Amino acid sequence: MMNSGDLMNSCRNCGASTLRELGFIGNLAPFFLKRVYRIELATRISSHPFKRFIQKLTAPIQSLVSRIQPAIAAIEMQSCLNCSFVQSKFPFPEEGLARLYADYRSDSYNKERCHYEPYYAAIANQIGQHTERGLDRITALTKWLESRVNLSEASMLDYGGANGQFLPNVPGEKYVFEISDIEPYAGVIRIADASQLQTYSYIQLSHVLEHVNEPLIMVRQVAAFLAKDGYLLIEVPQDSSSDFLKRLQTGDLNCDVGVHEHINNYCELSVQKLIEAAGLQLISIEAVPVENPSAKQNFIRALAKNWQ
């Protein structure tokens, strides 16, 4: 089946066909390589005695060289001239991404990730626990929304939101669309099958779009479940600065882009263009700083309205 990615000529975030080829600058993290492609980078001991002797002799030098000049698994990337979105030239295999996220953030995920990326152990427990402006995540989101729109008695859906615990703290019906069988948070009803989805006056896509091959297709699908004048909240991490993404886009910079658990790199411009391309009206957008030292990246929060 063809999708927009197979055509290789359009941005999977905004639909524009103006892309700059960046070459093999996508640097696949070892854990990503293992989970998505079932591949590990390896060196082998030679079966030839003399070669084996040389290998043994030069091992310390090889180890030093590989630290200074590591071998990486590299893929071709593209930058969108319309929205600064950086994407892999070829979409990742869907079944591979499903394997990557199958047990996301559970013990088995953390254990395997730490095997490939030992530094992850230090931050695994703190991920998702950030505060902003001295407030916990739910209080901060609730305040931010209340200063912009009236959500009282809304029907709210957290799309792909695990147990739904990060929905805003306002009265109303609360649902989470989640295919894994995680226990929903108190007061939240889990919908496990897309055919059961209704229309909602508020939907959030919180830290979801950085994980999907086709963000524009997903936002269009989700927007179809918005009531007229309903709101869509998008939150995505900002792993690279807007300046960095802009310099990739203009060809001013030629350096690696890491591909790990986040396959998409967002900035305010790309979120804004995504919302517009999905036919929604942008109400508010902001880069939000987070405070705990373990969460290195800030994130972008945007609110859009279904005005049609």
Residues that bind Zn ion (CB under 5 A): 11, 13-14, 16, 80, 82-83, 85
**Closest approach of Zn ion to the CB of residue 224, in Å:** 21
Residue 175 has phi, psi (to 5 degrees) of -130, 155
**Closest approach of Zn ion to the CB of residue 28, in Å:** 22
In terms of CB distance, is 178 or 210 closer to Zn ion? 210
Give CA–CA dist 120/109, Å, rounded.
11
In terms of CB distance, is 83 or 271 closer to Zn ion? 83
**Closest approach of Zn ion to the CB of residue 176, in Å:** 29
**Closest approach of Zn ion to the CB of residue 300, in Å:** 15
Give CA–CA dist 291/133, Å, rounded.
7
In terms of CB distance, is 83 or 176 closer to Zn ion? 83
Rg (CA), the chain: 21
In terms of CB distance, is 87 or 206 closer to Zn ion? 87
In terms of CB distance, is 7 or 68 closer to Zn ion? 7
In the chain the beta strands, taken as DSSP E runs, fall at 19-28, 73-80, 86-88, 131-132, 135-136, 154-159, 172-177, 189-191, 200-206, 226-238, 257-259, 281-288, 298-305
Tokens 């040389």, residue located: 54
**Closest approach of Zn ion to the CB of residue 97, in Å:** 20
Instruction: Tally Cβ neighbours within 10 Å of residue 306.
Output: 21
In terms of CB distance, is 139 or 241 closer to Zn ion? 241
**Closest approach of Zn ion to the CB of residue 234, in Å:** 15
Give CA–CA dist 108/102, Å, rounded.
10
Instruction: Tally Cβ neighbours within 10 Å of residue 13.
Output: 25
Q: Which amino acid is at 257?
A: V
Give CA–CA dist 206/241, Å, rounded.
20
